[in-house]
Amino acid sequence: MACTCSHNLRISGGTGLLGALQKGGDLFGHLHRAVGKAMRQEVQPMREAVRRHVGSELKVVRHSFLHAFRVKVLDQDPTRLPRMWIGSRIPWSGVHETGVTIGGKMLIPLHGRLGKKRFKAFVDELMRGGNAYFIKKGGKVILMAENLKEYDRPLAGFKRRYRKAEGIKRLKRGADIPIAILVRQVTLRKRLNVEGVVRQRIAALERAIQRFL
């Protein structure tokens, strides 16, 4: 995910720019250095603002998710003014900025989170052992598993979260445990506004550039 929005910066001539003009110096080079210095100075405040926003809008379980949001200054090209890159190393995090609808049959775990690979391996294990079956309830297709002793370990997390959600103290042997729901489409609403956070920091960036001119 990267912030691909563009914003125009208002820059007026400072004393340094005026001095470079009077001396016949490299105006663009002076501007390039000033913009680069200002952007590098604003990297940390921008990064903290973005991470603070993400942390307040999403239920973040792992801090590594927040730390994946980064801010970099791209100023290696001397023929172009520096740019600020704002994004995340996690590609799918961008769906929270725009919202998205995903089509196709999918199994969504119930009562808790589970990584894609781990959940797939878990379902495969149940299927191979013949302890996974679908039922239709209230118009919904639900993947179930039976509370068998030989599956105590793999089902432990699901049983614990199911009991907590339903207020059940103890599950009987042979009881049905809902594992996941089968859906044909998932819509994730827009939950982040990183572009708005960036827009709010533009004035501070403009002031920083003016100081370096």
pLDDT band for position 16 (50/70/90)? Answer: low
- What count of other Cβ atoms lies within 10 Å of the Cβ of residue 167? 6
DSSP tag of 151 = G
Residue 59 has what pLDDT? Answer: 87
Q: Which two tokens stand for residue 11?
A: 């820059």
Report pLDDT digits (tens) over 23-53: 455 778 888 888 999 999 999 999 999 999 9
- What does residue 9 show for φ and ψ, rounded to 5 degrees? -100, 135
- Element housing 193 (H / E): none
Residue 18 has what pLDDT? Answer: 52
- Per-residue burial over 132-154, b if 16 or more Cβ lie within 10 Å, else e, is beeeeeeeeebbbbbbeeebeee
- What count of other Cβ atoms lies within 10 Å of the Cβ of residue 113? 9
Residue 49 has what pLDDT? Answer: 96
Residue 29 has what pLDDT? Answer: 84
Query: Helix, strand, coil shares of the chain as percentages rounded to 5?
Result: 50, 25, 30
Average pLDDT value for residue range 86-113: 90
pLDDT at 146 over 70: yes
pLDDT at 21 over 80: no
User: What does pTM read for this prediction?
Assistant: 0.73
Lowest mean pLDDT among 11-20, 28-37, 187-196: 11-20
Average pLDDT value for residue range 158-187: 91
pLDDT at 73 over 70: yes
